[in-house]
Structure 1
Amino acid sequence: MFPTPIQKRSAAAQATYKSLLPVALILWLLPLIAVMVFSIRPDADFTQGNYWGLPSSFDLIPNYSQVFFNSDMPRYLWNSVLITLPTVAGAVALSAMTGFALGVYRFKGNLLIFFMFIAGNFVPFQILMVPVRDLTVDVGLYDTKTGLILFHIAFQTGFCTLFMRNFIRALPYPLIEAARVEGVAEWRIFLYVVLPLMKPALAALSVLIFTFIWNDYFWAVVLTQGPDAQPVTAGITAFNSQFRAAYHLMSAGSIVAALPPVLIFFLMQKHFIAGLTLGAVK
C-alpha cells in the first residue's frame, strides 16, 4: 500500500534518486533564481531585450538602493507589518477562544456552529470581491488598513477555529475536570490550563496566518489603493510606469517582500513543526 523507503531500495534506485533530486530542486527553484537574477540586472538589459543572457553589469547595490531610498517601498513594508501583526493576533485569539468553546463544551448546536465555520473555507473568495468591496465603501473602511485587517480576521477565523478546535479536542480532558473539581473558574481554566498546552498550536498557526496575510495580493488590490494603506505585495506594482515595467526594481522589491515570512518561518521552525506533529503518535 505504501511506497518502499528509498533506503530499502536497490543501489541503482538510490543512485537514480540522488542524481535526480538536485535536478528537481533546481527546476523548483528556477522561478526564484530568475527573479533574483532580474533584481541585479541593469535597466539597459531590459530595454535591449537581454532577459535571459548574462547581465551586462551587476547592479545589486543601485537597484536595491533605489527600492529602499527612492520609492515608497519602506512605507509599503510598514503597512504590511501594521496589517499582518494585528490580523495574526486577532485571528489566533478569536480562534483560541472559539476552539475552546466548541472543543470543551457540549451543547445543542455545537456541531452546527462548527460546520458554519468550516463552510466559510469552501466559499471561493473571488465571488466575495464585489459585496465585500461595496460593504467597505458603505461603512467607510475602503482604502484603510483597518478595513483590510477586519476582513482578514473574519476570513481567517474559520480555518483557525478548525485548527484550534481539533487541537483542543486532543488535549487530556481529565485536566479540565480536575480544575473544575477544585472550583477553578472557566476563564481561568482557559488561561492557566488549556492555553499553556496550546503553545505549539498557537506558534504553528501564527506562522501560517502570517504567511497567508503577508503574501496576500488579491484583497490588497481590491480593498486598498495607494501607499497610504496598500501592503507591499500590491505596492510592488508601483514600479510600473505608464508605458513600461521596471522589471529589475519589481524583482528587487519582490525579494525584499519575501524575506520577512521566510525569516519568521526559520525563527519559528521548531515550534511550527512541533505544532503540526503534536498528537500524531501516542
Structure 2
Amino acid sequence: MTATATAAPARGAGRPHYGTHLFLIVMAVMWLIPLLWTLYAALRPKAVTDKYGYWSLHGPINLDNFTNAWTQGGMATYFGNTLTITVPSVLLTLLLASMMAFAVSRFTWKFNLTLLVLFTAGNMLPPQVLAAPLFEMFKHTPLPYSISSSGTLLDTYYAVIAVEVAFQMGFCTFVLSNYMKALPGGLTEAAQVDGASVWQQYSRIIMPLTRPALAALGTLEVVWLYNDYFWPLLFIHSGDRLPITTGITNLQGQFLLDYNMIAAGATITVIPTLVVYLALQRHFVAGLTLGASKG
C-alpha cells in the first residue's frame, strides 16, 4: 500500500492582494509623474512653454533642447570627468573592501570584530563633519605641479577618489564580510591543505563565489558615486574638471530662465545610471536576495 502526501498550500497562497497592488500602483505613478513631466518639458520648445505654460499640452515636441544642452553645456567634458572619478572609485572600493572582508570573515584573530566595527562606524559620520578637516589636510598636502596645477591635493581627482573610497569601504566591507561568512569554511580549508596561499584562496576560491554580491554592490556604488554632489563641489574648483552633477549647475547659471534646456540636461544625466542598472539588473536582484531562503 502506498500513501500519497499532498503538501498543504501556504497560508494566503492564491489569495488576491488588491491592497498591495493598489499601493504599489499608486507609488509607481507618484514616482513616474515628475519624471515623465520633466521629459515632456525637455521635449517642448521654450517659446511654447512661455506662451502656454509648463502645465499645458499645446505645441510641438522635438529634440532641440537635448542637442543644445549637450553642445552648449559642454556635457561631453563633464561626462568624461565623471568617468574619471567614478570608475577608479568603484574598482578601488570593491577591491579593498573585498580584501578586508576576506580577512575578517575567513580568519580568526584578536581584533577581528573590532576592526570590522571601526570600518562600519565610519559610515555613521555625516560627511559635513569631516569637510573642513579634509579640506585643510588636502590644502596642505603638496603634490608636484606636473600632476596638480594647484601644487596640492585640492582641485584634483585624487582628492575626490580618495574620499569616496574611504567613505564607501565601510558599507561594502560589512556587506561582503556577511556574505563571505555564509560560504562553507571547508572551501578554504581544503585549499589550504592542498597548499594554496592566502592570495590564491582569496582570488581563485572566494572572489569567484562573490560575483553576485560584487555585482549588486557595484551597481549601488556606480549610482551613488555618479550622483555624488558634495565632495566634487568641495574639492574641485576648476570648471573644466567638474563631474556631471556639479557641471549641470553651469548650464543652469548660463541659461537661468530656460528650464526646458535644464530639464533636457537633467534627463541626459540620468541615462548612464539607468543603462548600468538595466545591464546589471539580474545580478543586482540576485545579490539582494542572497540568503533570503535556505535550501
TM exceeds 0.5? Answer: yes
Does structure 2 retain, via aligned residues, the 8 Å contact 1:41–1:55? no
Larger deviation, residues 141-150 vs 18-27: 18-27
Q: After superposition, where does 1:148-227 map in structure 2 within 5 Å?
A: 148-227=160-239
**Percent identity, aligned pairs only?**
34
Aligned-pair CA distance for 1:234 = 0.8
- 1:256 maps to 268
- Preserved contact between residue 69 and residue 251 of structure 2 (Cα < 8 Å): no
The answer to whether structure 1 residue 8 and structure 2 residue 18 are counterparts is: no
Q: Distance in 2 between matches of 1:76 and 1:220?
A: 12
Q: Which residue of 2 aligns with 1:81?
A: 83
Report the RMSD for the aligned CA atoms in angstroms: 2.1
Q: For this pair of structures, how many residues does the alignment match? A: 274
Deviations 1:36-66 (A, max 9, x none): 12212222356558222225432x3211111
Contact 1:221–1:234 at 8 Å: present in 2 too?
Answer: yes
Partner of 2:156: 144
Kindly tell me: are residues 172 and 17 of structure 1, through their superposed partners in 2, closer, same or farther at Cα, counting changes over 3 Å?
closer
Structure with the greater alpha carbon radius of gyration: 2
Residue number among 26, 29, 47 corresponding to 2:29 in the alignment: 26
1:107 paired with 2:114, answer: no
Q: Does 1:57 align with 2:69?
A: no
CA distance in 2, matches of 1:242, 1:77: 18
Distance 1:20 1:166, change over 3 A: closer
The ranges of structure 1 where at least 4 consecutive aligned residues each deviate by more than 4 angstroms after the TM superposition are: 4-7, 16-21, 45-49
Q: Is 1:91 aligned with 2:98? A: no
Amino acid of the structure 2 residue aligned with 1:37: Y
1:228 deviation in Å? 2.6
TM-score by length of 2: 0.86
Shift of 1:24: 3.4
Residue segments in structure 1 that go unaligned for 5+ positions in a row: none
Query: Retained in 2: the 8 A contact 1:72–1:227?
Result: no
Tell whether 2:40 aligns with 1:37.
yes
Aligned-residue offset at 1:249: 1.7
* Structure-1-length-normalised TM-score: 0.89
1:129 pairs with 112, 128, 131, which one? 131
User: What SS does the aligned partner of 2:153 have?
Assistant: coil
* Structure 2 letter corresponding to 1:254: A
Bigger mean CA offset, 128-137 vs 251-260: 128-137
Change beyond 3 A, Cα 1:146–1:175: same
Structure 2 equivalent of residue 229 of structure 1: 241
Aligned-partner SS, 1:240 = helix
Q: Which runs of 5+ in 2 are unaligned?
A: 1-10, 142-151
Q: Does the Cα contact within 8 Å between 2:79 and 2:244 map onto a contact in 1? A: yes
Contact kept in structure 1, 2:66 and 2:261, CA below 8 Å: yes
